Chains A and B, each alone.
Chain A
């Protein structure tokens, strides 16, 4: 059986890739995908723990998280479309009207 630590390392690595992607990528769609990657890394950790501890809570939580992620995706993509209509770009660097 694969030890739980292996799953956790994978989850943390995925989470790290996602976080670095959010901080470095300039395209909003890519940014959004990176956030989804982070959420799913957390899901993976949840399932791994759930399996290791022999409780079902983690599995259930994953379903709730998937639902939340879907709601976020709906709102996020709608917003990206709205701003694309106004500005015709989804490069996040171009969105810098508000600045100190």
Chain B
């Protein structure tokens, strides 16, 4: 009788945060069955997330791998897990009132969110392409449902179905890519691929390059890089706004965790990748920004802006190396804060009846909600990268990493893109501060939960901008723990 436990090195200590999230999702699903207790689901979800966050922080500095080397616990994965959980906590606060107003406040929403977070955590932790694929699917399938949750809204229906088809389509590319990599190397384990890389590249170059290209297409869809971005604006605009806030941050961070792990660690010796990412980064930044200029819907504008932010993070993938990974992580934390803040204000405004987040609905907002407008302005400044917000520091680290490695043109294009983006972010501020409303503007009603969400994000945006040192040290310590 073989001792399977030690043969496969099953170590549940490595996946305690994941187990916590999974168990919480089951509990929430049970609660959703009963009308009486289903209103507890948000509280239980929060408790689960906080517990998972605590377990995650306890893992910091610990390194290990288990489950037949398919799961790796390292600082890189831990930081990403913390990002997912913090983003999810903020989204729980941010969506609470919106969901009540729209009649969507049900346990299923939270259960789906938890399962999706679980998938992201699996992705961040995986050192095997198949586990990565499974994590991606665990993340994506609940997201399809979440996008289409608002069943009576035709926009939400459309967003859900479009997201589903594009997501499933991209999954097929990723899977064929994994198949080719498997064919080239006889394994799907990233560590073995790195070890045998020169042999693989010499014996099966066709399979290897085909596999890498297909995997890149698959992830390109997920993070919304430019030739594969067409679903992003539609889905972001159509989905219920708290769900959009979640989409724009957590799955994107998970996609980048996977991209960094696979391409900066796994296929770092495929030299042509740097050029490919160069083109992708420039396209993503530029197209995202130019299309954002002509939007009349704030949600859609933020969707294009999130595409351009993905372009800035792709710069880190062009550069590669430890500094660039640290800069990418810093940027993702920063982006989580100010982007969730921006979507938080939009969510709050949408709780007014009949509001569809058009630009002209922002008019006269500073008269009715002066503090809220000031917060919105803060997030817009952060999105466009003004000091002293964290948006500036994040862009600074990314572009200085690019400069140090000699990517001058890339930096120039990136900085010029930031200037272009100022136009549409400032348009939000201008409309809400200086434009007169046509009728009597309806004030937005603040609820305690959304105030918590906005305070967390605003403090994060300003605080991390003024004192970035700690976060920078944290992201520099977040290295791949796989020798």
Contacts and interface: CB of A to CB of B under 8 A. Distances in A.
A97 B154 contact: yes
Contact of A31 (B152, B154, B165, B172): B165
A98 B234 contact: yes
B160 interface: yes
A53 B161 contact: no
Dominant secondary structure of chain A at its interface with chain B:
helix
B288 to A, nearest CB: 13
Contacts of A38: 169, 172-173, 176
Contacts of B137: 68, 71-72
B304 to A, nearest CB: 9
A55 interface: yes
A60 to B, nearest CB: 8
A53 B237 CA distance: 47
A41 B178 CA distance: 12
A80 B158 CA distance: 10
Interface in B137-167: 137, 141, 144-145, 148, 151-152, 154-155, 157-162, 164-165
A79 interface: yes
Contacts, number: 133
Interface in B176-223: 176, 178-180, 182-183, 186-188
A45 B151 contact: no
Residue with the highest number of chain A CB atoms closer than 10 Å, among B145, B151, B169, B188: B169
A63 to B, nearest CB: 11
A18 B154 CA distance: 28
Interface in A1-45: 4, 8, 11, 15, 18-19, 22, 28, 31-32, 35, 38-39, 41-43, 45
A57 B188 contact: yes
A45 B134 contact: no
B144 A79 contact: yes
Contact of A76 (B168, B173, B175): B168
Nearest to B134: A64
B295 interface: yes
Contacts of B148: 79, 82-83
Interface string B232-268: 0110011000000000000000000000000000000
Interface in A45-73: 45-46, 48-50, 52-53, 55, 57-58, 61, 64-65, 68, 71-72
Contact of A22 (B161, B165, B179, B294): B165
B300 interface: yes
B161 A46 contact: no
Contacts of A87: 154, 157
B188 A79 contact: no
B372 interface: no
A80 B161 contact: yes
Given A61-B188, A79-B164, A39 B171 contact: yes
A19 to B, nearest CB: 8
Contact of B157 (A42, A64, A86, A96): A86
Given A57-B188, A72-B137, A18 B151 contact: no
Nearest to B236: A98
Contacts of B178: 42, 46, 61
B175 A65 contact: yes
A71 B237 CA distance: 26
B291 interface: yes
B50 interface: no
Contacts of A57: 182, 186-188
B171 A100 contact: no
12 contacts: A4-B183, A11-B176, A22-B165, A28-B161, A39-B172, A61-B182, A68-B133, A68-B134, A72-B168, A76-B168, A79-B164, A98-B237
Interface of B: 130, 133-134, 137, 141, 144-145, 148, 151-152, 154-155, 157-162, 164-165, 168-169, 171-173, 175-176, 178-180, 182-183, 186-188, 233-234, 237-238, 291, 294-295, 300
For the complex of A and B, list the 4 residue pairs with the smallest distance between their C-beta atoms, beginning with the closest. A38-B172, A49-B183, A42-B175, A45-B179
